[in-house]
Chains A and B, each alone.
Chain A
Amino acid sequence: MLDLQTLILSLQQYWADAGCVVQQPYDVEIGAGTMHPETFLRVLGPEPYRVAYVQPSRRPADARYGENPFRLGRHLQLQVILKPSPENVQDLYLQSLAALGIDPAVHDIRFEEDNWESPTLGAWGVGWQVLLDGMEITQFTYFQQAGGIELAPVSAELTYGLERIAMFLQRKDSIYDIEWGGGVPYGAVRLEDEREASAYGFEVADVEMLRRHLEDWEREAERCLDHDPPLVIPALEATLKISHLFNLLDARGAVSVTERVGLIGRTRRQAVRVAKAYVAQREALGFPLGNVLEEAAD
């Protein structure tokens, strides 16, 4: 039986062998692996890149006090970016399943349309959810736009929902029964913090403080972007803070309808500026990782 950590290690090894940089989770609270600079920024501009990393993804509104066997306020995603998307990307993906001991010859694997959009990041993509015997195990996206910028080259993004895959492979009826590794169950590691995070997010979080900090970080993002030259990573981190604070306020039920639209717009504005600043910065550096568009034109 494949435990959670072996699942992670196997995927990391597989994607390292496929030419990926194996990165680490980002050390700022974020809602999805897509917001990690290794995705959000690297997909911009003409430089080729391949990266894989695990990202704990915080969704305060999805927390369920540890009572729902399928839903978590913080779950693990394994994220892979292949830029440009290679010709054999579907095969590469299917082989990654083989690395987990999933033999396509005895399973039903289907690619069913599922597109992705993040208004907060000014990003969208087209792709599928990958179904393994009816279970959604991966989100497979061809990135079309990020930070409001049309992308060329186009990156393929693979997002594995790790707890779901582990549950499925281990045939467990609750996330908390998954074996993490060395005989330790997931619940023993995570259950208590799911309960606490739920209590905090739904009942305790100080709304006034969250609002204040949101304003503060918004100003900070602007300052970093107004700096000459713009400070790209600090500005992105400030934007990620805004996004997380927004999610907390939302879970707390403190965001009115009109305010929501406004806040998403404000976050997107920063994200768009960060994206532009990043592309300019890489251009000024002479695209150190190379230029896919020029190579192919030679």
Chain B
Amino acid sequence: MARFLLEVLTEEIPANALEGARRQLAAAIGGGLVEAGFEGISVRSLPTSRRLIVIVDGLDERQADRTERVNGPPLSVAFDDGGRPTKAAEGFARKVGLAVDELDNDTGPKGDYLAATVTHVGRPTGEILAELVPETIRGLRFPKMMRWGRGDHAFVRPVHGVVALLDDAVVPLELFGIFSGNRTEGHRVHGPEPFEIDRAGGYLETLEERHVLVDPEERRRRFAARAAELVDEVGCRVHPDEALVAEHVELVEHPGLLLGDFDEHFLELPREVVITTLRHHQKCLILEREDGALAPHFLAVVDRCDDPEGLVRQGNEWVIGARLADARFFFDEDRKRTLDELVPDLDRLDFHRTLGTVADKAARVAELAVGLAGQLDAEIDPDELRRAARLVKTDLLTHMVVEFTELQGVMGGHYLRLEGAPEELWTAARDHYRPQGFEGEIPHSALGRLIGVADRLDTLAGLFGVGEVPSGSRDPHGLRRAAQGVVKIVAEAGWEIDLGEAIVRAVALAADRFETDPKEVTATVTAFVADRVRRYLIDIVGVSFDTADAVMAAGWKKLPELVARAQALEGARDADVFRWLALAFKRVRNITDGQPDGTVEPELFQQAEEGELHDNTVAFARKLGESLATQRFGDAFAAMAELADVLEKFFVEVLVMHDDEKLQRNRIALLKTLGREFEKLADLSKLQIEGGDG
């Protein structure tokens, strides 16, 4: 079994491009080889910041031979009376490349005919790879492509060398004007001399000798081990940051970390400022003490294994010190003015070219929030709310947030707190961007929730209004997350508002900014939000998808009620009686769909079962009314289950489609009344019950 090694040596590839490259390479090379008939191979794709690598194990020397049965003319035509081959036989033999006496025959439904077994000899593996590899590499797609030199080729970064080895033999191929060979180089600092790779087999070890760790998992392990060693020196632990560690793995060929210190005074800055300063520009991890308090130490990623003269540490400490001093400068500058003083400047800040400035947006958000507060009977002064809707956006004008956009909200919270603003207000500034989608907690205060929901509804209404809607994986304005945030806050804050009405109002407030018909925009936003509500029920509340569909069909715009109803149905639906009920409901539906409404006239009842069903329906309607008013949906579904017996008897004993039209209309009206009561809870026909349409 042979091993194939491909290494494409490049200039530094962006960290965010490597994961995609890894996936595409493995899929294309693996897929191509399987298609060519190679079985039982294993494909690994292991890129570093300077190389794309593929290793394939378990390759045969050549493609497997393939045999094929080919049918020729009937024997009666292939041989003459004397048994000698005719022209037809000779022609067939020529076609399959065999002599006539190498042919044999098969029996088919129409008699015997001439046949041949043709063998397609597999091509040498190297030949297959020489075609597959260039095609694959040229077909790779990166977030951003570039050209270089004469500008003839487009790739993620310029290519400098190609190693293509099948065991010890070079697979000759060409990529971007470079011919494959067996020469490469090691780590930029620790092993820059070019060298030859003798065999594909020893590649990982050879590269490691030259300080390149090809396997990302190995780099991750080394990082973790080194970090553990270093934090031990100062008795701290790493402030966890999975995303940053994942990026470190892609940034270097040799996973080096160094420990540095900074002036303790910088810890007087808000915690998020210190963490973000280290992370944003320097991609440094910060350390914390056992109680979670930050410590004046950091871990910097370096692409080398040592620091021979201490210059690397010294340099990194200097830069971190400078960055933190810069952050402190921003902080001190920002503190010279109150956020109130910045409010007038909001009209210098663009929200969207058609939807206006942040001041325009804040004004819409304020009105929307005041409306919501009114519906909720929240004890919030409308003028305070209007002021807050503007104040929470002013941190966008501070030096700190201009520098670190990711601190929006957080800084507003800190600055207002330091100004002595009430907790309700500063937490609203801090929290109103939270949660991000379904992730995280909802804002702490009623004020934060009101502004958070209003802000997102305005964003949704406005951007849908100007047609900038998400498509596929593209959602540049984060509208899915915005809608998720609305759903999560409204549901978990227990707001009994009609979400549909809130959307209508948000669209109305923004409608003079766009030309699309507001009704159309409302409909699209409503459908978009409904999709998020459904996902919320499934992913967060944890009900099955058909439970979600069933309860949403009975109305979905009051979320806390919807959630309780969904949970109640999810709890009830597995009982046998309920499964029967779901099927019966479908039957009721089938009978009554498209029939005119009518009033039930008890005097027309002919059979006891009719009266019984009628009495039970009336009783159920009363109980349901009480349960709905008190939101005891469990009771409501239990009452529904109690109807099963009566309904079953009715279906067995009573002929709904009676010849007497009066009787028929009356029976349909009875079933329809029952169906309407059921539908206040859920559309049971959406439930996927085994035995389905029985």
Contact = CB atoms under 8 A, between A and B. Distances in A.
B113 to A, nearest CB: 59
B357 interface: yes
B582 to A, nearest CB: 56
B151 A153 contact: yes
Interface stretch (A30-38, A104-112, A226-234, A278-286): A104-112
A258 B151 contact: no
A277 to B, nearest CB: 22
Interface stretch (A9-17, A83-91, A182-190): A83-91
Best-buried of B144, B148, B307, B325 by chain A (most CB within 10 Å): B148
A68 B303 CA distance: 31
Contacts of A200: none
Contacts of B152: 152
Interface residues of B, number: 49
A171 B357 CA distance: 43
Contact of A90 (B11, B149, B316): B11
B172 to A, nearest CB: 21
A289 interface: no
B147 A134 contact: no
Contacts of B99: none
Interface string A116-145: 000000000010100011111000001010
Contacts of A296: 150
B315 A168 contact: yes
A107 B319 contact: no
Given A106-B311, A111-B11, A261-B353, A168 B146 contact: no
Interface string A72-113: 000000000000111100100000000000001111111111
A65 to B, nearest CB: 11
A152 B325 contact: no
Best-buried of B311, B315, B316 by chain A (most CB within 10 Å): B315
B27 interface: no
Nearest to A293: B150
Interface in B308-332: 308-309, 311-312, 314-316, 318-322, 325-326, 329
A152 B315 contact: no
Contacts of A210: none
A223 interface: no
A111 B146 contact: no
B129 interface: no
Contact of B314 (A70, A110, A133): A133
B315 A132 contact: yes
Interface in A151-176: 151-154, 156, 167-168, 171, 173
23 contacts: A67-B329, A68-B329, A69-B325, A71-B326, A84-B148, A106-B311, A108-B315, A112-B251, A113-B15, A133-B319, A134-B315, A135-B315, A135-B318, A136-B281, A144-B147, A153-B151, A154-B148, A156-B148, A167-B322, A173-B321, A253-B348, A257-B349, A293-B150
List the 10 closest pairs (A to B, CB-CB), nearest first. A133-B315, A152-B151, A113-B14, A111-B12, A257-B350, A126-B146, A134-B316, A108-B302, A134-B319, A108-B312
Interface of A: 67-71, 84-87, 90, 104-113, 115, 126, 128, 132-136, 142, 144, 151-154, 156, 167-168, 171, 173, 253, 256-258, 260-261, 292-293, 296
